[in-house]
Structure 1
């Protein structure tokens, strides 16, 4: 997964979820933030960020904020990047994958991927992870009722004889393990444990991240 026309900038402020003010080549500019999460531990005044030149004539901003330097770690914070990276990597999830279909419906819910395999249908929901502390990573960084609903959908898929996975894409490298963020959203942690007991696979992979690229790298332990 690769970006084009990437520039380094200095973060100034984030007036709302959708935009940020940055210093780019000595000028203050407004950019679109491609992540509506809180990201408070990432976006700090004076921090180094990376921007991608936007495309499309109807855009209100010329740049998208896609990554941030957090200590020694480069963190991709583009909310669309996990699905793009998984879509490229998906055939590595298991042998015998015949097709990879994005954005499919199961009952009344839309899930990120359906893998058609020699063993039958395999539903996958992808979640991006940007919250890190001491080398440990957590999801979510804000309450997500939508995430809880997705887990219950995956449970129903398993109950009907399909396979299902919730796949956490950790948008950084060099981390130790993944766990649900029970402090921020206890209901999500409860639903994740319920899903695991019901037979939903819970997997987490960290990524190789540069300002221009993000690629799924290796699996890390999941602590439930």
Structure 2
């Protein structure tokens, strides 16, 4: 996935969940933040950022903030729409015979439904942008929606679906994701229960540049008795 009309800027301050102030060519602009997560470890005054420029004259903001440069990692993609797009591109290159995004299941709309001959798959995609000591953590803000999706996947396993929670790791060099027990312990508990019920967890590491993101591989996480320790993990 490659962006167009990309420019670089200097982050100034976040106004709210949806907008921020960025210096672009020495001029301060109000820009749209394409991620409602906290990202306090990324979005701080002086941080290098990249943005896309919209050609829609009716928009309230001219620019979308898409990535941030973290000295210890490199470029981190914070576009919350990117994970589903890159997974869609990646799935299209694999051996599924049918792929449908935004699939209605139960009380939720899951990200992908796939088929491979007679086998049926459901996948929920989560983007990870929080890194501590080389490990990714999710979520960076409480997410009841993510917990609900895990329960939907657990139910689907009982109905014969192959169910997958896929973490798109939008940071270079980070290979695994753990539940953020400090921010949302209920997600960690639900993740352990889901894995024990047969939901697969995929880690999808990415190659990130200032204007692109691409999945570079897949690692699978399988349930072990150690996963029962997740509810007791705390990020210091």
* Mapping 1:27-46, distance limit 5 Å: 27-46=27-46
Q: Show the counterpart of 1:183.
A: 182
Distance 1:68 1:83 in 2: 19
Q: Tell whether the 8 Å contact from 1:143 to 1:184 is kept in structure 2 after alignment.
A: yes
Q: Show the counterpart of 1:202.
A: 201
* Mapping 1:80-119, distance limit 5 Å: 80-91=81-92, 95=95, 97-119=96-118
Q: Show the counterpart of 1:24.
A: 24
Q: Show the counterpart of 1:157.
A: 156
Cα distance per residue 1:68-126 (max 9 Å; x no partner): 00114210000000000000001456x4x111110011122110000121142100000
Q: 1:55 to 1:128 in 2, by over 3 A?
A: farther
Q: Tell whether the 8 Å contact from 2:139 to 2:183 is kept in structure 1 after alignment.
A: yes
Q: Tell whether the 8 Å contact from 1:104 to 1:113 is kept in structure 2 after alignment.
A: yes
Distance 2:172 2:54 in 1: 26
Distance 2:66 2:161 in 1: 35
* Mapping 1:128-147, distance limit 5 Å: 128-147=127-146
Which deviates more, 143-152 or 71-80?
A: 71-80
Query: SS at 2:124's partner residue?
Result: strand
Number of residue pairs matched? 222
TM-score (norm 2): 0.90
Which deviates more, 150-159 or 174-183?
A: 174-183
Distance 1:88 1:189 in 2: 29
Distance 1:7 1:180 in 2: 33
Q: 1:103 to 1:51 in 2, by over 3 A?
A: same
TM-score (norm 1): 0.95
Gaps of 5+ in 1: none
Distance 1:194 1:57 in 2: 48
Distance 1:119 1:131 in 2: 37
Gaps of 5+ in 2: 228-236
Distance 2:128 2:116 in 1: 27
Q: 1:133 to 1:99 in 2, by over 3 A?
A: same
Distance 1:173 1:200 in 2: 26
Query: SS at 1:218's partner residue?
Result: coil
Q: Show the counterpart of 2:60.
A: 60
